[in-house]
């Protein structure tokens, strides 16, 4: 039980750390509320963050298709593969025209997240996978919003603006599923740990 809890916590931590880094890259020098105007963002950094995020999305969505036992999660996963394959291709085509170098694989945190998810099964996988997808899409919305609002290259900015409504739809789809699993999260792990501690004291 304790090992499983650590795996789930590690996945959440990896996604949270990745989210923070991507948002920082997409929105440097963001001024405090009430100050104006907002600084422009780097189109090159956006493209790299979006490419890495897109590759990570495909990786964990493939796991969702293979391992999820929830039909709703399986359907969501297949739609993510279809949608993000198209979006990744559009980004790669634009980057090639603009001579922007893109990463060939997801960053190490996303790789670790996928590896951690691969070690789970059943309800544990469903719960942790839904949370990971929710965090990933929150990150993507923030990243694409920053570029759509404050990008400098009109073509890259337009790509972000076109993709943003679809990514927001993805977040609307996964959030209630993730919330449902969070509410249904069993409390038996804490009870088991307490029981183990009591048994040790009795010895």
Please report the domains of the chain, with CATH numbers, ordered by start residue: 7-24+42-182 (1.20.1260.10)
Nearest to 8 by CA among 192, 185, 197, 195: 185
Q: Please tell me the predicted confidence (pLDDT) of residue 33.
A: 54
Per-residue pLDDT reduced to its tens digit, 137-157: 999 999 999 999 999 999 999
CA–CA separation, 152 and 133 (whole Å):
29
pLDDT given for residue 26 in this prediction: 46
- pLDDT computed for residue 80 by the predictor: 97
pLDDT of residue 162 exceeding 80, the answer is yes
State the pTM of this model: 0.75
Kindly list the distances between the CA atom of residue 202 and the CA atoms of 6, 38, 126, 196, in Å, as whole numbers in the listed order.
Answer: 26, 62, 36, 10
């Amino acid at each position: 039980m304790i090992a499983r809890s650590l795996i789930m916590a590690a996945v959440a931590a990896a996604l949270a750390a990745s989210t923070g880094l991507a948002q920082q890259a997409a929105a440097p020098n963001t001024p405090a509320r009430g100050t104006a105007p907002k600084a422009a963002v780097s189109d090159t950094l956006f493209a790299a963050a979006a490419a890495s995020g897109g590759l990570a999305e495909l990786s964990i969505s493939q796991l969702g298709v293979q391992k999820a036992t929830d039909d709703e999660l399986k359907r969501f996963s297949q739609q993510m593969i279809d949608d993000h394959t198209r979006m990744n291709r559009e980004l790669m085509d634009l980057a090639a025209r603009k001579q922007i170098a893109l990463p060939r694989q997801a960053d190490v945190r996303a790789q670790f997240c996928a590896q951690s998810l691969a070690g789970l099964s059943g309800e544990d996988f469903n719960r942790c996978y839904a949370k990971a997808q929710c965090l990933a899409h929150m990150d993507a919305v923030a990243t694409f919003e920053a570029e759509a609002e404050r990008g400098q290259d009109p073509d890259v900015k337009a790509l972000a603006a076109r993709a943003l409504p679809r990514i927001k739809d993805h977040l609307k789809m996964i959030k209630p599923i993730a919330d449902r699993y969070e509410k249904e999260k069993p409390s038996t792990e804490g009870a088991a740990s307490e029981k183990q501690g009591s048994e040790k004291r009795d010895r």
